[in-house]
Amino acid sequence: MTRSTETMITLTLMVFAAMPDNSSADGEDLSGSAELLRQGDDLFNSEKIEDAVKVYIQAAETAESRGNKSDLTEAYSQVARCYLKLERIDEGRPWLEKAREKASPDDSSGWSRYLGVRGRFEWKDAAKLKGELSPETDRASNTFKEMHDYCLNHGLYERAIDAANMVSITGMKSERAIWAQKGIEAAETGNLESWLAPLWNNLGWAYDDLGRYDESLQALKKARVYHYKKGDELSMIIADWSVGHAYRMCGKIDSSETILRSVQKLAMIRKGEEKSPENAEWFGFANLELGELALRRGDRAEALKLFKVAYSNLHEAGMNEWDAKKFKELNDRILELARNK
């Protein structure tokens, strides 16, 4: 893609992002599969995944009985995505295959939905193969780039933003910030505020990967603003943790520790109330960052203690499966500190 073509695509997305996402066929019977798809999307977006998969299956059955190939493709795709979200990937693959068999580039709603889910399976497969949470993967990022351009050409502007967001996670590290910025520009122009928290977050971490720590801090602060607007407690804790990490990378140790001590306390309270893998994860990450700060101060004994707490909780959260590379790095650091007390 040439620089001028890329600029044109970005401008097109900015101009038209405010228009509605006409994902379903005009005149669809709202008592049928289209309405069930909408209900499923609402449940999925509210993180009620177990409920969403049941509704998507109902949507598929209704679409099949009425011969609605487009809705059937979307429903099959979303059942697969639900199983992916539930980390039941093998259960999701047959549904993705069903979607592939029905999907056609001539059907913009079904094809765009299928590409979005196929790309996510390709991303997760690469993550498992490489033992990283966000690996560079040409296969997945090329799918999302295809989805981005296709959605722009067919007026599915919010799905184009989704695709840009996913390239900012799966693409080469050198290009991730560019794609996050594309998504941010379009979301801001279209007043699609729900996208701004993840997009600014991804931009912040893209800058972190590139060693551009001051820019990372500013982007993660912006992400925190939108996470706080959402008002979800765990999202706010994660946003604070991210800003605390960014302060550390900028060498602002006091600011980092102030935030991370608060994160550690809140995460510990959450884990005391509910011993879920998610709560263990963020209590673990809080202790991991505080361990890094202890090392900065030269307190190796305190760092070792904090790293051990982090290791225990992150193991409980399953990090050895979803980010094996960094989990091994943590284990190696604990062994090194223990040998050199």
What pLDDT digit, counting tens, does each position of 208-229 carry?
Answer: 999 999 999 999 999 999 999 9
Check whether residue 258 and residue 147 sit in a common domain: no
Contact 244/289 with Cβ under 8 angstroms? yes
Check whether residue 226 and residue 170 sit in a common domain: no
Domain of residue 290, CATH code: 1.25.40.10
Number of domains in the chain: 2
Can you give the residue range of the structural domain that contains 21? 1-190
* pTM of model > 0.85: no
Check whether residue 2 and residue 150 sit in a common domain: yes
- Given 164, 190, 216, the domain boundary residue is 190
pLDDT of residue 230: 86
One-letter amino acid at 236 equals M
Check whether residue 294 and residue 165 sit in a common domain: no
Check whether residue 223 and residue 130 sit in a common domain: no
Check whether residue 178 and residue 54 sit in a common domain: yes
- Residue range 299-315, pLDDT digits in tens: 999 999 999 999 999 99
Nearest-angstrom CA–CA distance, 283 and 275 = 11
pLDDT band at residue 23, thresholds of 50, 70 and 90? very low
- Given 190, 210, 245, the domain boundary residue is 190
Check whether residue 141 and residue 236 sit in a common domain: no
- Residue range 171-191, pLDDT digits in tens: 999 999 999 999 999 899 888
Mean predicted lDDT score pLDDT of the chain? 90
Nearest-angstrom CA–CA distance, 37 and 208 = 37
Nearest-angstrom CA–CA distance, 336 and 36 = 55
